[in-house]
Amino acid sequence: MPTLTLISHPLCPFVQRAAIVLLEKQVPFQRINVDLSDKPAWFLEISPTGKVPMLQVQEAGGSNEVLFESVAICEYLQETQPGPSLYPDDPLARAKHRAWIEFGSATLAEAWGYLNAKDHVTANVKATSLKDKLAQLEKVPSLGPYFDGETFGMVDVVFAPVFRYFDVLETDRDASLFADFPRVNAWRKKLRVRASVIAAVSTDYPALFRAHLRRQQVLLMEKI
């Protein structure tokens, strides 16, 4: 098997996707964090986008390949590594899951916009958009306890980092975002206790995330 190295940043939700898949597959890997505010030369040399995650794949024969973009990395791991499949076997169901993964990326963008809002108007607009996304998820027939019933899969991988933000903050204001979506809220609570989700970030992640929000002087941190 190739040697895998995950190029990472402690707060990146897209890195968490790759880490969760690696942990679910129980594949050994190394992890290297980079400072995205002061990117090292070696990182810029191998990264087409200057972003994380990247996955270095060192083959036994000596070749060294670099993958970038979280979805591509997760798909590669799904196709090449042992362990449980993170997609349904049925082609139609698999395509639907991939569509919900795209929806998950859009949900992440709305959540990030809400959490980083610096004024009430922006916060309210983003909160409304995020609730619209949660309302769509609430209607998914298979939802509970995971996205696809009893089976943990790639859609769960994508949404776990989104929900982690709110697990860290746990303010009354954020709890109210989920108040009208009990099935989504139960899903969120199920994901946060899964071993791979917990281990996808360092133990100081909550402190690092709160410190980031304080540095950005976001509206949300005024009451935390």
The CATH number of residue 49's host domain is 3.40.30.10
In 3D space, the residue among 130, 196, 197, 141 whose CA is nearest the CA of residue 167 turns out to be: 197
Tell me, what CATH number does 117's domain have? 1.20.1050.10
Q: How confident is the model at residue 159 (pLDDT cuts 50, 70, 90)?
A: very high
Q: Do 101 and 193 reside in the same domain of the chain?
A: yes
d(CA 92, CA 58): 34
In 3D space, the residue among 194, 138, 148 whose CA is nearest the CA of residue 167 turns out to be: 194
The per-residue pLDDT for 171 is: 63
Beta bridge partners of 68: 54
pTM of the model: 0.95
Q: Do 208 and 100 reside in the same domain of the chain?
A: yes
Please tell me which residue, 173 or 54, carries the higher pLDDT value: 54
Q: Do 107 and 14 reside in the same domain of the chain?
A: no
End position of a domain, from candidates 26, 47, 80: 80
Look up the domain containing 54 and give its range.
3-80
d(CA 68, CA 54): 5
Average pLDDT (122-139) is: 96
The per-residue pLDDT for 59 is: 86
Helices (H) and strands (E) in the chain, counts: 10, 4
Q: Do 139 and 214 reside in the same domain of the chain?
A: yes
End position of a domain, from candidates 46, 80, 114: 80
Query: Above 90 in pLDDT, residue 156?
Result: yes
Note whether residue 86 is domain-resident: no
Tally of structural domains, the chain? 2
The per-residue pLDDT for 29 is: 97
- Output the CA torsion 145→184→70→97 (10° steps): 70
Q: Do 108 and 158 reside in the same domain of the chain?
A: yes
End position of a domain, from candidates 80, 108, 139: 80
pLDDT digits 0-9 by tens, 69-79: 999 999 999 99
Mean pLDDT of the chain: 94
